[in-house]
C-alpha cells in the first residue's frame, strides 16, 4: 500500500472520514483509530511482521514505566540496557546477522582458514530501523530525565506505529509526537490544506522526477561497463537527484498526511542541495536521522573524547557517520558511504567551520558567485558518495569510478532513453530546483508565497496534477528508503 497507490487513497479517505466525523469525540477514540489504522496499514504490507512491531511496543512501554519508577541508578541503567539490547538485538538479528557472518568467514578465508557458520534465511521487517530508533530514543530520554514515561499504552503504541511515518520515517522523537498524541486533535483547515499541498509536491517529486530518473539510472548502473565516463557522470548526477526526489518526496507525503489528521511531525529535508558545505548538507538532509545520531551518538562521543581536542571530534564524527552509513543496510558500500561523509567533515573541524551557519543569498534572488561555487562543490562531493551508495558492492563502485575518470569522460554522453528523454527530464529537474530555490525559506516547495493571486497558484497546482496524471506509470515503484 504505497502512498501513491489506489489502495492507500481508499484507505486514507476512509480513515480521514472516520477520524474527523466518527471518532472526533475524544482523544481516546482518535488514538484507537490511529493505532488500528496503523496496524492495518502495516499488516497490509506483511502481517507476519506485525507481531514484532507489537512486541517491541509492549516491551518498551513496560520498560519505560519501570525506568522512571526506579530510583536506584544501577537498576535504571540495567533496565535501559535491556531495552537497548532488545532494539539493537532485533536490528542485528534481522538486518546484520548474515552480513557479519559472511564478513567474518571471508576475513578468515583470506588467511586460508575455512570457517563455516550457517547464515539464516530471514526477511527484514519493514520499518524496523525506523521504529527501533524511536523506541531507543524514548528509553534514553526517560533514563536521562528529559521526558516522563507515558502511562497510556495506546499513546505509546501509536507513537511507535504511527502509520504516515512507520515505513520510512521521519524518525520522530517521543518528546515531539507523544505530547500531540496525548491531546485531542482539532481539525485545522490551514494545516490540512497545507498538508494537501505538501502531498502534491511530494507526489510530483516521486512520480515525475524520481521514477523517471530511475528508468535511466537503473540502466546506466546495471550496464556501466558499456557506457562512457561522461555518461556515467550523468548517471551519478541523475541518481543523486533521484535519491533526493524519492526520499524527500516520500517525507513530504508522510508529513502532509500527518497534517491532514492534525499532527505536526518532524521535518526531514530542508532543501539540502542549496548547502554550502557538507555539514550544512547534513543539517538539511534526512534531518530526523541526523539529529537522532547527533544527540545519541555524536554528542556523547565528543564529550567522551573531549581531552583529545579536534582529534576527538574527528573520531566522534567518523564513528557517527559510519553508524549512519551502516544504518542504511548490511553492505560494505554503506559503511564506505558513511566513512566518506565522515572524512568530508575533517577540513571543517580543523578550520572550525563545522557549525558556522550562513543564510544563502540573503533576500536576493540569486546567490553570489562564491555561494554558487560552494553549492556546486558540495553537490559534487555528495554525488560521488552516491555512486558507492547505489553500487551492489565495493568492487562495482570502484569499477564505476575507474570508468568515470577515464579518458572517455571527455566525450559526448550517450544517455539511454528512459520513459522521458533526458532533455525533458532535465527540464523537470530544473523546474523542481527553481521552485524549491524560490521557496527555500519555506517548510516545503509548494508553499507558493511568491506567487500572488489565487488563480495563478491554482494554475500551478493544476499543471502539477496534469503532469502527475500524464506520468503516473501503471507499475508502482517502491520508495528507495523502504528497504532501510
Minimum gap (Å) between residue 234 Cβ and another protein = 37
Segment 105 to 164, residues that bind another protein, using CB under 8 A:
144-145
Q: Is 59 buried (19+), middle (13-18) or exposed (0-12) by CB count in 10 A?
A: middle
Minimum gap (Å) between residue 439 Cβ and another protein = 26
Rounded distance between C-alpha atoms, residue 377 and residue 274, angstroms = 11
Q: Is 171 in the site for another protein (CB under 8 A)?
A: no
34, 45 in Cβ contact below 8 A?
A: no
Q: Is 346 in the site for another protein (CB under 8 A)?
A: no
Q: Is 291 in the site for another protein (CB under 8 A)?
A: no
40: its cell numbers: 492495518
Q: Is the peptide bond before 170 cis (omega within 30 degrees of 0)?
A: yes
Stretch that binds another protein, among 13-21, 195-203, 304-312, 399-407 (CB under 8 A): 304-312
Stretch that binds another protein, among 48-56, 309-317, 429-437, 441-449 (CB under 8 A): 309-317
Minimum gap (Å) between residue 294 Cβ and another protein = 8
With CB under 8 A as the contact rule, the residue among 307, 359, 410, 452 that binds another protein is 307
Minimum gap (Å) between residue 277 Cβ and another protein = 14
What torsion do the CA atoms of 149, 155, 158, 159 make, to the nearest 10 degrees? -40
Of 29, 112, 219, 328, the catalytic one is 328
Q: Is 313 in the site for another protein (CB under 8 A)?
A: yes
328 is catalytic: yes
Q: Is 302 in the site for another protein (CB under 8 A)?
A: yes
Give counts: helices (H), strands (E), the chain. Answer: 21, 0
Q: Is 417 in the site for another protein (CB under 8 A)?
A: no
Minimum gap (Å) between residue 361 Cβ and another protein = 22
Residue in this structure with the C-alpha cell 526477511, named with its chain if needed: 123
175: its cell numbers: 518528546
Give, as one character, the DSSP assignment of residue 295.
Answer: I
Backbone dihedral region for residue 70 (phi beyond 0: left; psi -120 to 50: alpha; all else: beta): beta
Between residues 28 and 175, which has the closer beta carbon with respect to another protein?
A: 175
CA atoms within 13 A on the CB side of 119: 16
Q: Is 74 in the site for another protein (CB under 8 A)?
A: no
Between residues 212 and 275, which has the closer beta carbon with respect to another protein?
A: 275
Number of residues that bind another protein (CB under 8 A): 17
Three-state SS annotation for 82-147: HHHHHHHHHHHHHHHHHHHHHHHHHHHHHCCCCCCCCCCCCCCCCCHHHHHHHHHHHHHHHHCCCC
Residues designated catalytic: 328
Residue ranges that bind another protein, judged by CB under 8 A? 144-145, 294, 299-300, 302-304, 306-307, 309, 312-313, 349, 352, 354-355
Amino acid at each position: 500500500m504505497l502512498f501513491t497507490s489506489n489502495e492507500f487513497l481508499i484507505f486514507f479517505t476512509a480513515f480521514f472520514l472516520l477520524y474527523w466525523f466518527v471518532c472526533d469525540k475524544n482523544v481516546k477514540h482518535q488514538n484507537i483509530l490511529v493505532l488500528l489504522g496503523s496496524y492495518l496499514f502495516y499488516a497490509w504490507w506483511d502481517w507476519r511482521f506485525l507481531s514484532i512491531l507489537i512486541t517491541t511496543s509492549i516491551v518498551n512501554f513496560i520498560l519505560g514505566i519501570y525506568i522512571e519508577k526506579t530510583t536506584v541508578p544501577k537498576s535504571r541503567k540495567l533496565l535501559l540496557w535491556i531495552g537497548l539490547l532488545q532494539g539493537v538485538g532485533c536490528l542485528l538479528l534481522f538486518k546484520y546477522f548474515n552480513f557479519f557472518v559472511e564478513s567474518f568467514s571471508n576475513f578468515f578465508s583470506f588467511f586460508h582458514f575455512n570457517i563455516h557458520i550457517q547464515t539464516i534465511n530471514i526477511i527484514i521487517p519493514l520499518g524496523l530501523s525506523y521504529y527501533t530508533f524511536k523506541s531507543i530514543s524514548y528509553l534514553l530520554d526517560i533514563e536521562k530525565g528529559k521526558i516522563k514515561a507515558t502511562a497510556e499504552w495506546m499513546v505509546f503504541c501509536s507513537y511507535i506505529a504511527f502509520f504516515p511515518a512507520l515505513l520510512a520515517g521521519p524518525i520522530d522523537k517521543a518528546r515531539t509526537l507523544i505530547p500531540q498524541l496525548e491531546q485531542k486533535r482539532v481539525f485545522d483547515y490551514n494545516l490540512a490544506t497545507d498538508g494537501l499541498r505538501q502531498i502534491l509536491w511530494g507526489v510530483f517529486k516521486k512520480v515525475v522526477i524520481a521514477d523517471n530518473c530511475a528508468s535511466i539510472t537503473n540502466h546506466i548502473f546495471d550496464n556501466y561497463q558499456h557506457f562512457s565516463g561522461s555518461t556515467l557522470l550523468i548517471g551519478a548526477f541523475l541518481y543523486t537527484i533521484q535519491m533526493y526526489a524519492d526520499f524527500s518526496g516520500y517525507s513530504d507525503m508522510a508529513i502532509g498526511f500527518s497534517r491532514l489528521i492534525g499532527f505536526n511531525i518532524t521535518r526531514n529535508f530542508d532543501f539540502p542541495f542549496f548547502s554550502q558545505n557538507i555539514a550544512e548538507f547534513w543539517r538539511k538532509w534526512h534531518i530526523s536521522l541526523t539529529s537522532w545520531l547527533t544527540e545519541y551518538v555524536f554528542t556523547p562521543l565528543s564529550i567522551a573524547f573531549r581531552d583529545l581536542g579536534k582529534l576527538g571530534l574527528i573520531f566522534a564524527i567518523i564513528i557517527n557517520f559510519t553508524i549512519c552509513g551502516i544504518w542504511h543496510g548490511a553492505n560494505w558500500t554503506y559503511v564506505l558511504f558513511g566513512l566518506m561523509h565522515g572524512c568530508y567533515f575533517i577540513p571543517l573541524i580543523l578550520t572550525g567551520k563545522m557549525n558556522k551557519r550562513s543564510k544563502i543569498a540573503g533576500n536576493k534572488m540569486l546567490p553570489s558567485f562564491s555561494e554558487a561555487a560552494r553549492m556546486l562543490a558540495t553537490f559534487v562531493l555528495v554525488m560521488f558518495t552516491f555512486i558507492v551508495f547505489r553500487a551492489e558492492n565495493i568492487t562495482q563502485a570502484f569499477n564505476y569510478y575507474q570508468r568515470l575518470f577515464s579518458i572517455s569522460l571527455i566525450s559526448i554522453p550517450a544517455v539511454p532513453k528512459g520513459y522521458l528523454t533526458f532533455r525533458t527530464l532535465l527540464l523537470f529537474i530544473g523546474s523542481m530546483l527553481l521552485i524549491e530555490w524560490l521557496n527555500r525559506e519555506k517548510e516545503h516547495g509548494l508553499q507558493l508565497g511568491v506567487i500572488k493571486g489565487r488563480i495563478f497558484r491554482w494554475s500551478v497546482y493544476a499543471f502539477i496534477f496534469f503532469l502527475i496524471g500524464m506520468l503516473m506509470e501503471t507499475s508502482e515503484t517502491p520508495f528507495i528508503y523502504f528497504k532501510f
